[in-house]
Amino acid sequence: MGRRGAGRRKGEKAVSLQVLVTGASGLLGGAVARLLADKGHRVRTFQRRHTAGGPGLEVLSGTVTDPAAVRAAVEGADAVIHLAAKVSFTGGWDEFAAVNIGGTRNLLDAARAAGARDFVFVSSPSVAHFGHALAGEGAGRADPQRARGNYARSKAAAELIALAADAPSFRVAAVRPHVVWGPGDTQLVERVVKRAAAGRLPLLDHGAALIDTTYIDNAAAAIVRALERMDQARGQALVVTNGQPRPVGELLAGICTAAGVRPPSWSVPGWLARGAGSVVEKAWLVAGARGWVRDEPPMTRFLAEQLSTAHWFDQRQTRQVLDWVPEVGLDEGLKRLAAYYGGGPAR
């Protein structure tokens, strides 16, 4: 079929695209793949772990660091939505660079060679977060030198590479969903709930920092909308949030209450947590290299900064470019989370 964008004018018949979604075994990647299929697109997913397919979904297993596997995955694709990444609070630079930078290069090269028209790179606001508060700001330029931690630095470098590839015949946009959560989330919700249940979840500076988050359905919808609006979104980085900043303590309490565990009630000074996080992160890196630990560290400097500094964003440009607004509000999202956990009082 001819290469066409996913968007359409009023009265124009919808076009079914062949879309490759990487990283679909994750919460957000899976939601994006299902939404595309629901919209009538033919979807191929590509991820390290084998996952069950579904209506309209073709599943391939492999890694973005393998150029041959990537070329096979992208064959025949009209568009690529790239979510696969190494996501961790700690770890050596080489692995982050291989997956997040090298993997993105592999996808870009393969997509162009296969004749794909559109490429949506799913990034993170951390690529432009340099340790200070972000209050009502737009999507600043990604900066690998100033971003905090190897994950953010590698994603910043990858975003710059992706956006530099934008061309009339190969349109590229970057979408930065901020703190995505929802039922089934293992990155944020599960960690918050487990640590709160064990009494190991402190508030930093009494949880006063104002932050925004993104409910899973909204994040998936915005990413798909970027593909549909590629004429307007191409060449840009767009931060996506619910547009409902709340104190971090209130958000953590909402998640804990939804899961039926007691919210955190003890506070640690932010400056102390940031210092301790730097020490823990270095120790965890050594211990991980020796095989002594496999889980995430209880605190890192980046995590401490995220929990003790404001980070919420002006959403006017994003909503104008995408012609989109979130459908699931924060309170409704917490209700859905409570239903997922079965409801019930805090214990």
Active site residues: 151
For 274-299, letters b (16+ CB in 10 Å) and e give bebbeebbeebbeebeeeeeeebbbb
d(CA 218, CA 222): 6
Residue 13: DSSP 8-state: P
d(CA 57, CA 59): 6
d(CA 200, CA 189): 14
Structure tokens that stand for 317 in this block: 């440009």
The two beta strands, 118-122 and 237-240, are unpaired
d(CA 328, CA 323): 16
Backbone φ and ψ of 224, nearest 5° = -65, -35
Structure tokens that stand for 95 in this block: 């692995």
Backbone φ and ψ of 235, nearest 5° = 80, 0
d(CA 166, CA 101): 17
Q: What is the separation of C-alpha 252 from the centre of its chain, rounded to a whole number of angstroms?
A: 19
Q: What is the separation of C-alpha 186 from the centre of its chain, rounded to a whole number of angstroms?
A: 13
d(CA 91, CA 305): 18
Give which of 201, 212, 268, 279 is closest to 241, Cα–Cα.
Answer: 212
